[in-house]
Amino acid sequence: MSREVVQVMVLPPVVPDGLPQIFLFEDGIWRDVTVPQVTENLSSMRTRIEQHLSTLMANVGRTPPVPVPPQGAGFRTPFRTLYQTLLPIDVRNELKRAADAAQAAGGPAPLLQIFLSATAEWIPWELLHDGTDFLGLRFSVARLPIVRQQTSVRGPRTRTVSAVHSILASSVLGAMEQAQWATTFDGFSNVPGWERRSPNGQNGAGPTLNEIEQAKAAGIVHVTCHGGLREGQGPFFWTLDHLNPQFYDYRITADFAESVQFDARPLVFGNACASNATDLGALHGFGSSFMIGGALNFIGTLAPITKTTAVTFARRFYEELFGTPATPVAIADALRQAKERFAAGPPPSTDPSYLFYCLYGPPDTTYKPV
C-alpha cells in the first residue's frame, strides 16, 4: 500500500522578521505558496509560544504538579493559532487531504518531511494543531535541515547497532528515575558489553564531554542532561553538570555538537530535562548541529521536559524502534507510535512534554540491535 507523503520547504523570510518562505512539493516540482506578510512578526510569535510553554511547564514541574492536559484548549489553542497563521492555505489543504486519505484507506500514518533552514528550526512543527490533533500525532514528522557545512545522509537505511552508549548528567534525575534510566536498554541485546552506561553505577563519577566524544563508534548515543539553560542573552546550551564551575568540560553547545565527528553515523537521542520549575520553555535544539557532527538521525526535545517523561518516553521509544528482531520500525514511525502510547493512556496524560520530541534526518532509517 502506498503511503501519503507531504513535503514542505521552509526558507528565511524575504523581509526582516517576516514570515518564512514556504514551498510545497507537488507533482515533481516545488511551488511557492508563501503567504503575504501579516501584521505580527515572527519574533513576537516565538516569544508568545515560549512564554506559553514556560508558564505551563512551570506548573507541571511544581510539587505537587499542576495538571496540564495536552488535549485541553488551554494548552493547544496557541498552537492552533500558529498553524493557521504560519501555514499557507495550500499546505493546510494538502495536510488535511493526506491525513484524511490515510485514515480512509486504513494504511500507515502519512509522512511529513520538512526541509528547513536554521531560521525555522525553533518553530514547534510537531505541536502545530490542525483542529483535529497535533501534527506530531497525525503524521510521522521528519525535519531535514538545510545546512552550509558538509554532512551526509547517504548510506544504508538499515542500521545494525553494535553498541549503545547511554550518558546521564550529574544531579539531573532522582533515585527512582535514575533506576528507571538504567533499564532503558534492558532486554534488547544479549551481547555482553552492548550497552555502556556513564556513570556505570560503580564509582558514580559524573560524565564530561569526553564521554560523548568516546562514544564515536556507538550506533546509538543516548544523552540525558539538563536543558534550556543560557547565560544572559547568550545561546542556549545543555549541560552534564549545571553546578560545576568548570563549565567548559560539561556544556553541550551547537559548536560542540558540530565538532564531534561521529564515526558510525549514529542515532543521537538528546533528553534535555528541565533543571527546575522555572526553566524557560525555550524553542531550540541541536538537531542540525549533531547531524553536521556526524549523526545520521537526531531525536531531541524542542523545550525542556519533565524528568519522569524523559525516562519513560525513552524506553517506550526504543521498544517501538527495535520492534521485533525480524522487523524493526522506521524511526519516524517509532517516534509517532511512542507519542500515541502516551496519548492513549491510561491514565490520561497531564504532562504534555511527550509531544516535544522531534526527529531530524531520514525518516525511513531502521536500527536493529545485534
CATH of 158-369, one of 2.40.10, 3.40.50, 3.20.20, 1.10.1060: 3.40.50
* 78-95 pLDDT tens trace: 999 999 999 999 999 999
CB 297 within 8 A of CB 284: no
Cell of 44: 513576537
366-369/158-161 β-pairing: parallel
Q: How high does pLDDT run on average in the chain?
A: 90
* 220-246 pLDDT tens trace: 999 999 887 777 777 888 999 988 888
Task: Give the Cα separation of 322 and 261 in Å (integer).
Answer: 25
- Residue 281 is predicted with a pLDDT of 52
* 247-294 pLDDT tens trace: 889 999 999 999 998 988 999 999 988 765 444 556 677 899 999 999
DSSP state of 151: -
CB 225 within 8 A of CB 270: yes
Apex 328 CA angle, 124 and 212, nearest 5: 60
pTM: 0.94
DSSP string across 90-106: HHHHHHHHHHHHHHHHT
Sequence ranges of the domains in the chain: 5-145, 158-369
CB 221 within 8 A of CB 213: no
> What is the helix (H) or strand (E) element at residue 331, kind and residue range?
helix 331-344
* 293-343 pLDDT tens trace: 999 999 999 888 889 999 999 999 999 999 877 788 999 999 999 999 999
Torsion of CA 253, 271, 112, 54, to 10 degrees: -80
Considering only CA atoms, which of 334, 273, 324 is closest in space to residue 300? 273
* 97-131 pLDDT tens trace: 999 999 999 989 999 999 999 889 999 999 999 99
- Residue 55 is predicted with a pLDDT of 86
* 133-192 pLDDT tens trace: 999 999 999 999 997 766 666 667 899 999 999 999 998 999 999 999 999 999 999 999
